[in-house]
Structure 1
């Protein structure tokens, strides 16, 4: 890849090529690099102006990894640029025949050397490492419609002159962000041979399709049993639960002979805080994560007291309420008290206790939910009941 001076280096190399071409047909002529409106039309020497008027991204190369990376390494893709130039001859005294000769010499030079070689780039622009980029830099004709070329000249508020357009692609400018180069893997699998393959149509990889909670609820609580349903679960030795927010981990052993090879029953421990937990499958001794998953389950908090309860507002209409819950709150967890349609963030939440300030608390009786890291306590104990009902104890009255 190239450095930030690659555009400058390509332009200077093109100018040198054009300069050789015009000198071959008109001794004393020169190639210059100026905006079109700043080229002197009264100069006594013939000139051909090289003007970079547009840069674009080469989309086919936009996501290519940088060269030189070993397997497993990653880096920011290079910025692949397409440079578009205008080539305009300026002849003294408005001599169009000389202008045509100059343009022919310039185009012949570019046609003869359609690829900017590494030697040319290194010799003309030693200040840039563009000569070391792996991809070739090619010069090609770029057709421009009549209305577009006139529009370009009108921008510079100068009379139109005979002009040819061409493009150069691709100039790869590298990122300054260093690549990621992890250490090589010492061994793949227990025998160092990597994963085993099977010609069977049916997959032999363990997987979890659904997580089923007790009574058809959307979450489970500490001490309750959840079921993982999937396929090829008979060889799973344990299940690892990793709390998404806190990173707390619990490894749960599974029965040596599960009731069904496509399901596992797990009793949720009290060592994990409420919230969302990632589920991964473990096998072997020492236990190693299988290359599948993770899946996710919701561990709901349980309010242990004191509900139902009554709180009294002060003269300003504010109130305060404290409750306890299991599992205990972990540092950094987001704890909310939901009173009907109102939500209040915990002022403190340490261990099993949380304190909530209720500014402008609405009077009346409110159903209570405790939300920890996005998982609510279970206000409807049995959604399958007919008819379903709210838990009558989860009630807070504001007076």
Structure 2
């Protein structure tokens, strides 16, 4: 499932989880009226629809340095074939309440923080298992607050050319993007007694 569409799938799943958590909050009306699109995926600096309650914006992609430089992965069906390891990505989002009522905005932030504190990982996207990228990744994704400094936030809102709003950063890792190259036969290295190796055809 970790093809090139995984970034979009993760974004939609993250929004679905936030929407479900807000809808299920007892005795609190966040103004969603059962419409998931009221959590927009547009930048909070855009001219948003008046019905928008919050923005969930993917603003940065980064390679997870701890998962780089993996060895080729043996194919599970044909062990003499090897796959390229997936590209390990981490996604950074900005969740921004955009309503006029600051009390509701702060309730939104608190509920989203609470949800990902209670449920910091997930294994399904769009109702399908994420999978382990042919053995090259974890079958679960982790979500945690990505608390930005005031300076970083000021720079971001300056880039949006919009007035500053209190926002919550969210980090999702590790999102594996599978290679599109089919498995191929690689030459193996056989270790010799002296610690050196020779290439086996």
Which TM-score band (shorter chain)?
Answer: 0.7 to 0.9
Residues 204-256 of structure 1 deviation map (CA, whole Å, 9 limit, x = unaligned): x9xxxxxxxxxxxxxxxxxxxxxxxxxxxxxxxxxxxxxxxxxxxxxxxxxxx
Structure 2 residue aligned with 1:148: 152
CA distance in 2, matches of 1:46, 1:98: 13
| Shift, 1:73, TM fit | 4.1
Query: Equivalent residue of 2:82, what SS?
Result: coil
Query: Equivalent residue of 2:45, what SS?
Result: helix
Among candidates 33, 40, 47, match of residue 32 of structure 1: 40
| Shift, 1:74, TM fit | 3.3
CA distance in 2, matches of 1:174, 1:162: 35
CA distance in 2, matches of 1:74, 1:162: 47
Structure 1 residue aligned with 2:14: 14
| Shift, 1:177, TM fit | 1.3
Residues 53, 85 of structure 1: 8 Å contact kept:
yes
Higher helix share: 2
Larger relative contact order, structure 1 or 2 (CA cutoff 8 Å, min sep 6):
2
| Shift, 1:142, TM fit | 1.2
Two-structure CA RMSD over aligned residues (Å):
3.0
Q: Which has the larger radius of gyration?
A: 1
Q: State how 1:260-299 maps to structure 2 within 5 Å.
A: none
User: Alpha carbons of 1:196 and 1:132: their partners in 2 closer, same or farther (altered >3 Å)?
Assistant: closer
Structure 1 residue aligned with 2:177: 173
User: Alpha carbons of 1:292 and 1:161: their partners in 2 closer, same or farther (altered >3 Å)?
Assistant: closer
Aligned residues: 182
CA distance in 1, matches of 2:186, 2:176: 25
Give TM-score scaled by structure 1 length: 0.41
Structure 2 residue aligned with 1:95: 101
Structure 2 residue aligned with 1:53: 59
Give TM-score scaled by structure 2 length: 0.77
| Shift, 1:61, TM fit | 1.0
Higher strand share: 1
Among candidates 54, 72, 86, match of residue 78 of structure 1: 86
